[in-house]
């Protein structure tokens, strides 16, 4: 399968329009959170609606800029993998939204324990082989190319890193840190 991976749109619907060729070529879309523009929660739903209009196969979590209750909007669109283990065409998906406290000024800041608890269905399942699992986690794992901020500091979640090492998923999709690309 070929996925279009998107994160941190922050209310920018026009950015999604620029991806129309990629939407058309993708078998599915993975969205790693931050639908809304900072401190403008009203910008989240139009982004979600645009995403669902562009592709039928969509798997999402919310970000730290999204209000915690925005998860209900994603659940209504039947595309949430937050705290949910979803199976699709031989693949498994699970996710965790929000981010650890960094600047303490966004609505969905959480503890590392909360973030990892969203993924508990994987550790509680009888399945031992998770080589078909795609994890969508807004907050990146620590000490990766995805969690580096200016100055070279790593600000990701150590507990998430440990869980990933234990489970060995097929892929981990993350967002949140705009300065890091991997």
Chain mean pLDDT for the chain: 93
Domains of the chain: 3-174 (3.60.21.10)
Q: Quick one: which of 25, 49, 45, 26 has its CA closest to 37? A: 45
Q: Is the pLDDT of residue 104 over 80?
A: no
Report d(CA 87, CA 69) in Å as an integer: 24
pLDDT at 4: 99
What percent of the chain is predicted at pLDDT more than 90?
A: 79
What percent of the chain is predicted at pLDDT more than 70?
A: 96
30 contacts 61 by C-beta, under 8 angstroms: no
Q: Is the pLDDT of residue 170 over 90?
A: yes
Note the pLDDT tens digit of each residue in 121-136: 998 987 889 999 999 9
33 contacts 97 by C-beta, under 8 angstroms: yes
Range with the lowest mean pLDDT among 18-22, 86-90, 153-157, 165-169?
153-157
The CA-atom distances, in angstroms, between 33 and each of 70, 89, 115, 177 are: 11, 23, 13, 11
pLDDT at 143: 80
pLDDT at 22: 98
Q: Which band of pLDDT confidence, cut at 50, 70 and 90, is reported for residue 76? A: very high
Note the pLDDT tens digit of each residue in 2-47: 999 999 999 999 999 999 999 999 999 999 999 999 889 999 999 9
pLDDT at 153: 81
pLDDT at 180: 67
The CA-atom distances, in angstroms, between 106 and each of 6, 66, 110 are: 20, 8, 10
pLDDT at 181: 67
pLDDT at 90: 97
């Amino acid at each position: 399968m070929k996925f279009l991976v998107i994160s941190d749109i922050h209310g920018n619907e026009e950015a999604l329009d620029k991806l129309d060729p990629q939407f058309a070529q993708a078998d599915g879309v993975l969205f790693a959170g931050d639908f809304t523009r900072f401190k403008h929660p009203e910008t989240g739903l139009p982004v979600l609606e645009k995403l669902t209009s562009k592709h039928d196969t969509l798997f999402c979590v919310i970000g730290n800029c999204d209000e915690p209750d925005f998860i209900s909007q994603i659940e209504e669109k039947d595309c949430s993998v937050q705290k949910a283990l979803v199976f699709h065409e031989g693949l498994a998906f699970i996710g965790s939204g929000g981010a650890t406290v960094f600047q303490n000024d966004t609505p969905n800041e959480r503890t590392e324990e909360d973030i990892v608890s969203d993924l508990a269905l994987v550790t509680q399942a009888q399945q031992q082989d998770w080589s078909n699992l795609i994890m969508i986690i807004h907050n990146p794992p620590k000490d990766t190319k995805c969690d580096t901020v200016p100055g070279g500091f790593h600000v990701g979640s150590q507990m998430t890193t440990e869980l990933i090492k234990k489970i060995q998923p097929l892929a981990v999709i993350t967002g949140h840190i705009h300065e890091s690309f991997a």
